[in-house]
Amino acid sequence: MKGVMTPTRWRQVDQLLEAALELPADEREAFLAQSCGVDQALRQEVLSLLAGNEQAEDFFEAPPMNEVGEVFRSAEPAFAPGSKIGPYRILRELGRGGMGLVLLAVRDDDEYQKRVAIKLVSPGPLQPEMMRRFRRERQILADLEHPNIARLLDGGTTEQGWPYVVMEYVEGLPLTQYCRQHKLALTGRLPLFLDVCAAVQYAHQNLIIHRDLKPANILVTQTGVAKLLDFGIAKLLEPANQERQQMTARETLSGVLMMTPEYASPEQMRGETLTTASDVYSLGVLLYELLTGHLPYQLKSRALPEIIRAVCEAEPQPPSVRVVGADLRVCPPPLSAQPPGQTHRSAPTLTPILTPHPVLPGELKGDLDNITLMALQKEAARRYHTVQQLSEDICRHLAGELVFARQATLGYRVQRFVKRNRAIVVTTLLVLLTLLGGIVATMRQARLAEARGQANRRLAYAGQMHQAVQAWDMANLGQLRDLVEGNRPAAGEEDLRGFEWYYLWRLYHHNGQRLLLPHPIEVWAVAYSPDGQRVATGADDSKLRLWDAITGRALAMLSGHTECIWAVAFSPDGQRIATGSADRTAKLWDVATGRELVTFNGHTNQVMCVAFSPDGKKLATGSRDGTWKLWDVGTGRELLGIQATAQWVHAVTFSPDGRLLATGHGAQPCLKLWDAVTGQELRVFNEFPRTVFSVAFSPDGKSLAAGYRDRLAQLFEVSSGKLLATFKGHAGEIKSVAFSPDGKLLATGSADRTVKLWRAATGEDLATLKGHLGQIWSVAFAQDGKSLITGGDDHTARLWDIPAALEFTALKGLGSVSAFMALSPNGRTLATQGSAISIRLRDAATGQELMTFARHADFWTSLAFSPDGKGLVIGNHDSTAELWDAATGQKLMAFKGHTAQVNAVTFSPDGHRLATASSDKTVKVWKAATGQELLTFKGHTNLVRDVAFSPDGKRLASAGYDHVARLWDAATGRELAVFSGHTSPLLALAFAPDGKTLATGSADNTAKLWEVATGRELGTFKGHAGHVRCLAFAPDGKRLATGSAEGMVRLWDVATQQEIIALKGHDDAVGSVAFSPDGQTLVSSGADGIVRFWRAATTQEVAAAGRK
């Protein structure tokens, strides 16, 4: 029957088949027997068709996958097993793509025979974009070292000219498959997810967004460690304002296609500028899949438009609901393709396995639902602002604490419901109105909706302030500006701004930048003329530009080089400029006329660096050909050519006396000292295989600084080679180093978009200059040391005011005996510890020391200024308190009466009385002038940790280890109220400026807000991960600052108890926080011995800038 099928015969067969398929399986035989009658062939034909099996079904349901790519693969030279790439012997091919392949290899000279994955890219001439991407991935990976990220081990170029990277070979299963295979319960899944969060967060800290988070890119090893791979489309965070790329639909789509759309965020789908929030979303999808075994969307097909619609519009079901619905279903096949080579994968199973999902709805309902949905918010601003917040919330859930996601998503959903269903809401209200006949109810409803809208705005504001802090941390000034400017209140809107806004505004506006010199292209090199009047820049367009250093006016643009300029230097007399170029030459220019004077020809590869000898007669150059050469400036004759390294020479410089020359290169040893006359190698500086990008002699010639690609710089003694200091703090490679002319400062320009100023002698980090929107490639000081020029790949050179950049913002090295400080009422004087027993007064504006109280007493515990600032009261360990004259340093009075350590001291607002809190469980009030004990307040059942007068001086509040705060009548000692609600000892308290509310900080890691009149708890400030040890209200009463044992200072919206920003500035517990009386400075002191001044702009400053 096969083979000779006619349309007519087939119609017969087909009709019977159709009818039979409609019937239950067990009735089909009988039906056919009856219908076919004697035509046994017909019956046989239909029966054989009905016998079709499931495996074939599989064939049709799996669309042709790999073939699509395979069709277009071009023939590539194979890297055969057994052959070698560098020191690696190839074992086999792991996978390939159109432009490259991945090999499994082993390092032959490695005794451990560790296996590695080598990723190669074909160097086709058509693929510059591709090569750029590859280089970038290599660079990105080189910067990442994390237990949950597959490590980059090596890189290079094969003999055939294929660039390659060597990666840690991860043998494992994709995350979701691993969970399925091991039938992991929730408790096994969440820790793996937290691993992934840690890796992503680490990448974010390094300014890298992964952009392609999906199970296939996360392998779990046999030992159960999750490893993140494939940074192929990761990117460095880009400033949001860089010509906010207007992407075409096409580019958007190709962008989307490059990642796996199911895991892409809505903004990614729309082709918008991405932030770390996009990775948060992808993590949300991943979490959803881990919890439910399904994607958050129910997709009918994998058609892109449908996925886009689902991602951008469909509200995901809560995971707990999804699990219920899915429980009875067949487990879906793995959703996504896997990276080649990184996994051994079995052929797809042909029959689906019926596995009940091991996570139960009950485990998900509530917290995990909320957490997942919060990460999956369509609007980036409504998600967790950082991966850390997401992982912290999961930790909170695991610890049984309240999660942050609860409030945020609930309020939002209510708001959205009202927004979407306004008509319904209105109708409902009208019905209510007629039914109840009461207008009051409607009014209340309307007010409620209004209040919700208001709450929503506050939530959004807090989110954006949080992001602004993040933007600043990542030196993303464009985004910072947008977030700050975007939150000026519109006409008629309530002004939600507080301290944080003015603080962030000032960060943006007072960053020390004086001038910006715009270029059409990347700036690779900058130099200051010796007289400080001009600066020169070398750019990627091969042009040398001259600028007026005072006004920023462009003076000249000189052409001559045929490739980009890598290096620029002024001659010591300022009349000549030397340039080094990728066109393999160096050139000499006349500054006055702009004429090209000499071309130095001889290098066989790009000239990366140039330096004049101090007498201006010789020029040194370094090249990618591995040599440095010395030239006669006058004649252009080559005097010396020395092979310094097998790799590139990145940097060359003369010692100030001209007798020595230092070079920095790309391979070990990477820093060498030479005799500048004979070319003899004198010293090798560094034993580490680091790449040196830049070198600089100190002005006295005694030390030599080198900037490395691995994010640090070092200072060596020239005579001995001894390491003097290490400069650590940049988040990206250091491209350029420069000494200030007085030798006190070292400036480093980094790929992390910042310049840092360091105390050269000690390595102390003095200031960070932020403003560049891209990597900084070159830095140079002016001769007066007051100005610095930087050039970067953000197409700008910038001039910075060094004194402004060095603005006093922190006191360091105070020791860690006590974390306490006190700010005088006028905000001008700061009292900090001198030693364990002495107190030191300092000028709060400059940090300058004013006076040290020479005390001979026991350890002190607490400090407070009198309201007129003339007196300072000190609480002591020996159960006494003392009053000192802040002007003369004389001790005026001692207050004796407590029987245990005094923990806190404070003045009454009128300055006449003094209150002390003691470990003897009492509070005492004293007459300040005479030292007479007036009252003792008894009631606490444990030690009293803090005490405060109400602003009117009539009441007194105390915070105790007995978990409560107590309110007292300051005149009679009568107890008025007990504020009970904390679950751990109270550590601090403060009255709001209006005296109506009171805030308390506790060892339960929260602060609480209380109504003074009623003793009612108004709300809880949740977010600290350590004891809340101190707190202070801003003078406007809108903000509360809290300091905690985890080293964070957090700022809260008092009205909503919502956290607004977190300030990271201490490595140890924060012991005191205080606002200056004008509300412009927040001071925090920590057990790390640091006092920080967080300065905000004044409204006048902001207004003045607005008028400009």
Of residues 735-774, those binding another protein (CB under 8 A)? none
Using the minimum distance from each CB to another protein, give the nearer residue, 236 or 943: 236
Q: Could you tell me the two tokens for 506?
A: 């000032």
Select from 4-12, 576-584, 698-706, 1035-1043 the region that touches another protein (CB under 8 A).
Answer: 4-12
Of 135 and 509, nearer to another protein (C-beta) is 135
Does residue 637 bind another protein (CB under 8 A)?
no
Out of 26, 38, 60, 82, which residue is the one contacting another protein (CB under 8 A)? 60
The reply to whether 82 sits near another protein by the rule CB under 8 A is no
For the CB of residue 253, give the shortest distance to another protein in the complex, in Å. Answer: 5
Residues recorded for the chain? 1108
Which of 183, 302, 420, 659 binds another protein (CB under 8 A)? It is 302
- The residue within the footprint of another protein, chosen from 37, 52, 82, 520 (CB under 8 A), is 52
The Cα–Cα gap between 1010 and 1018 comes to 5
Residues from 524 through 563 that contact another protein (CB under 8 A): none
Structural tokens at position 1019: 């709300």
Distance CA 496, CA 983 (A): 32
Q: 941 and 962 in contact (C-beta within 8 Å)?
A: yes
Whole-number minimum distance, CB 751 to another protein, in Å? 21
Does 68 participate in binding another protein (rule CB under 8 A)?
Answer: yes
40 SS3 class: helix
Rounded CA gap, 398 and 392, in Å?
A: 10
Where in 1026-1065 is the site for another protein (CB under 8 A)?
none
Long-range contact pairs involving 357-361 (C-beta distance under 8 Å, separation at least 24): 357/292, 357/293, 357/323, 357/326, 357/327, 357/331, 358/183, 358/184, 358/185, 358/186, 359/185, 359/186, 359/189, 359/291, 359/292, 359/293, 359/323, 360/186, 360/323, 361/320, 361/321, 361/323, 361/324, 361/327
Give the total of residues touching another protein (CB under 8 A).
84
- Which of residues 346 and 1100 has its CB atom nearest to another protein in the complex? 346
Helix axes 1099-1107, 499-509, angle to 10 degrees: 50
Binding to another protein, residues 256-285 (CB under 8 A)? 257-258, 260
3-state SS, residue 467: helix
We find the least distance from the C-beta atom of residue 298 to another protein, in angstroms, to be 14
Q: Which is nearer to another protein, 10 or 417 (CB)?
A: 10
Please, which residue, 66 or 113, has the CB nearer to another protein? 66
Q: Which stretch binds another protein (CB under 8 A): 5-13, 180-188, 433-441, 776-784?
A: 5-13
Q: Is 430 in the site for another protein (CB under 8 A)?
A: no
> Footprint of another protein on residues 811-850 (CB under 8 A)?
none
Asked if 305 touches another protein (CB under 8 A), the answer is yes
- Smallest distance from the beta carbon of 155 to another protein, in angstroms? 14
Give the three-state DSSP class for 954.
coil
User: Nearest distance from residue 230's CB to another protein, in Å?
Assistant: 5
Spatial CB neighbours of 197, under 8 Å, sequence gap ≥ 6 = 283, 387, 388, 390, 391, 394
Can you tell me the distance from the alpha carbon of 399 to that of 151, in angstroms, rounded to the nearest whole number? 32
Among 41, 304, 431, 806, binds another protein (CB under 8 A): 304
Of residues 86-125, those binding another protein (CB under 8 A) = 92-102, 119, 121, 124
**C-alpha to C-alpha distance for 652 and 679, rounded to whole angstroms:** 13
Which listed range, 65-73, 815-823, 1053-1061, 1092-1100, lies at the site for another protein (CB under 8 A)?
Answer: 65-73
Q: Which is nearer to another protein, 337 or 1103 (CB)?
A: 337
Backbone region of residue 567 per phi and psi (left: phi > 0; alpha: psi in -120 to 50; beta: other values): beta
Q: Which is nearer to another protein, 73 or 659 (CB)?
A: 73
Measured between alpha carbons, how far apart are the two ends of the chain, in Å?
91
995 Rama sector, left if φ>0, alpha if ψ -120 to 50, beta otherwise: left
Please give the angle made by the CA atoms of 196, 200 and 206, to the nearest 5 degrees. Answer: 150
Told to check if 929 binds another protein by CB under 8 A, we report no
What is the side-by-side strand order in the sheet with 745-750? 734-739, 745-750, 754-759, 764-770
Which of 353, 440 has the CB closer to another protein? 353
Residue of 26, 37, 300, 423 that binds another protein (CB under 8 A): 300
Q: Please give the residues from 172 up to 231 whose contact with another protein meets the rule CB under 8 A.
A: 212, 216-217, 229-230
Residues in 6-45 at the binding interface with another protein, rule: CB under 8 A: 6-7, 9-10, 14, 17-18, 21
Number of H helices, E strands in the chain: 23, 67
Site for another protein in 493-522 (CB under 8 A): none
Among 23, 30, 41, 78, contact with another protein (rule: CB under 8 A): 78
Nearer CB in complex with another protein: 249/354 = 249
Of residues 6 and 551, the one with the C-beta less far from another protein: 6
Q: CA–CA separation, 335 vs 297, rounded Å? A: 12
CB closer to another protein out of 140 and 558: 140
Which one, 97 or 1077, has the nearer CB to another protein?
97
Which of positions 330-349 make contact with another protein (CB under 8 A)? 337-341, 344-348
DSSP assignment of 597-656: EEEEE--SS-EEEEEE-TTSSEEEEEETTSEEEEEETTT--EEEEEE--SS-EEEEEE-T
Minimal distance, residue 154 CB to another protein, in Å:
18
Phi, psi at 505, each rounded to 5°: -60, -45
Residues from 232 through 251 that contact another protein (CB under 8 A)? 232-233, 249-250
Residue 153 CB-density burial (10 A; 0-12 exposed, 13-18 middle, 19+ buried) = middle
CA distance 964 to 373: 36
Number of Cβ within a 10 Å radius of residue 1: 11
Among 133, 466, 772, 1095, binds another protein (CB under 8 A): 133
